[in-house]
Amino acid sequence: MRSGGLRVIAAKEFRDHIRSRRFHILLAIFLVIAAVGLIDGSIQYNKQIDEYNENLAQASDDEMVPGYFGWKPSILSAFFRMSMLIVTVGVVLGCAMGFDLISREKESKSLKILLSHPVYRDEVINGKALGGIAAIALAMAIVLALSFAILLIFGIVPDLDESVRILLFGGLSFLLIFSYFAISLFMSTVAKDSSNALIYTLIIFIVLSTLIPAIATNESVMNVVIGEPPEFNGPSGPYAVSSSSAASSTGEVVDTSEIDRAWEEYRERSDAYWEKRRAFTDAVNLLSPSYNYQQMAMAVTEPRISIAVQNVGSYSPDIYEDLPESGLAILGSLMGVLVKNIIALLVIPAAFFGLAWVRFMREDIR
């Protein structure tokens, strides 16, 4: 039966991963740093909730100012800080698990022996991928279980809204680690040996995590692609001398309506320019799984901050007045803006796994 080989290979790969020393070391580092971060976050959360309750007792609801200082603290803030850890340690875990999956078999000649058995090639590559995915899922499950345990030890019981968002955070973290696992698996299929596969993986990691975000925000690149920011071309000044006229810095008296019109045109050109810059930055950053993950992790754990980030340039405290209390409801309102990041976070690992699959199926193994 065709699925029999797939099951056997996936089970073997899963056992190899969870028994490997590198998996143990990286998972241990992951757990220690996550535990320390959550313990610190829990202590800070308890202090913040005490201060919030004191402020609530001293002021009526009408006196509470919408905005950061009027928000009820959430333990999800600790998970937001944890997302910065996952961008480094979690990504290294994904790369370390995939870079020698195929190349190691080629170096030891065991791939020829494996393919001499009644097993299809697609079962080999699919089984290796499934074994790695299961190991990554196990690692994330352990991290989430540890997180819930620490919260309960500190007397913090997440409500349904927070529990769902913590699980969403775990799913996003899994996608990020799987993205780099798929990239390293692809490099393992194209490289001649594990050393080259590791180097190629690190190069791609640096390009996607550091170089692309740096290019997307580089001022010189922006000026070449988008152009220079618009300049104000109206009368300089103004120094008002009456309700209907003003004097420029050169002393020339000008009509204030001309100044207002010039400022309005400048504002429109400036808004259009900065909108283009933002569109360019967002488009380039979509190639970076780390950037997409950070955007989504912020929306899940700190939805109000994500609202402020998405409205940068047109920020107003009024945007908080109509926001619902539920973090999930706020997250739902952000989905339209962040759908491109979700798609990119799904497409990139699928694309690299597809490339690895095609490369492995066509490879001449002798």
Is the pLDDT score of 76 beyond 80? yes
Distances (CA, A) of 80 to 167, 172, 197, 206: 13, 12, 32, 23
Domain count of the fold of the chain: 1
Chain segment 139-174, per-residue pLDDT in tens = 999 999 998 899 888 888 888 888 999 999 999 999
Q: Work out the end-to-end distance of the chain between its first and last CA atoms, rounded to an integer number of angstroms.
A: 26
Residue 71 structural domain? 3-233+259-362
Give the residue among 105, 108, 103, 86 at the shortest CA–CA distance from 30: 86
- Average pLDDT over all residues of the chain: 82
* pLDDT over threshold 90, residue 68: no
Q: What angle do CA 275, 281, 287 make, to 5 degrees?
A: 145
Average pLDDT over residues 18-47: 87
How many CA atoms are closer than 13 Å to the CA of 283, on its beta-carbon side? Answer: 8
Type of residue at 2: R
- Kindly state whether residue 141 falls inside one of the protein's structural domains: yes
Strand 245-247 versus strand 239-240 pairing type: antiparallel
How does residue 269 score in pLDDT terms, banded at 50, 70 and 90? confident
Structure tokens at 196: 């080259």
Among positive and negative, which fits the CA dihedral 167, 171, 174, 176? negative
345, part of any domain: yes
* DSSP 8-state class, residue 245: E
pLDDT of residue 319: 63
Tokens of 118: 């009644």
Q: What is the rounded CA–CA span in Å between residue 121 and residue 100?
A: 17
In a domain? residue 244: no
Q: Average pLDDT in the 195-205 region? A: 90
Percent of the chain with pLDDT over 70: 86
**Residues 101 and 188: beta-carbon distance below 8 Å:** yes
Distance CA 78, CA 75 (A): 6
Q: Look at residue 245 and tell me if it is in a domain.
A: no
At 181 the pLDDT is 93
More confident residue, 167 or 324: 167
Whether 247 is covered by a domain: the verdict is no
Q: What share of the chain is helix, strand, coil (3-state, %, to 5)?
A: 75, 0, 20
Mean pLDDT of 284-295: 90
In a domain, 131, yes or no: yes
Dump strand ranges (E) for 245-302.
245-247, 253-255
Query: Which pLDDT value is given to residue 244?
Result: 47
In this structure, is residue 249 part of a structural domain? no
Poorest-confidence range of 129-133, 254-258, 351-355? 254-258
- Exposure letters 295-322 (e unless 16+ CB within 10 A, then b): bbbbbbbbbbebbbebeeeeeeeebbee
Question: Is residue 257 packed enough to be buried (19+ CB in 10 Å), middle (13-18) or exposed (0-12)?
Answer: exposed
Does the pLDDT of residue 243 top 50, yes or no?
Answer: no
**235 pLDDT more than 70:** no
Torsions phi, psi for 246 (to 5 deg)? -150, 165
What value does the mean pLDDT take over residues 320-332?
75
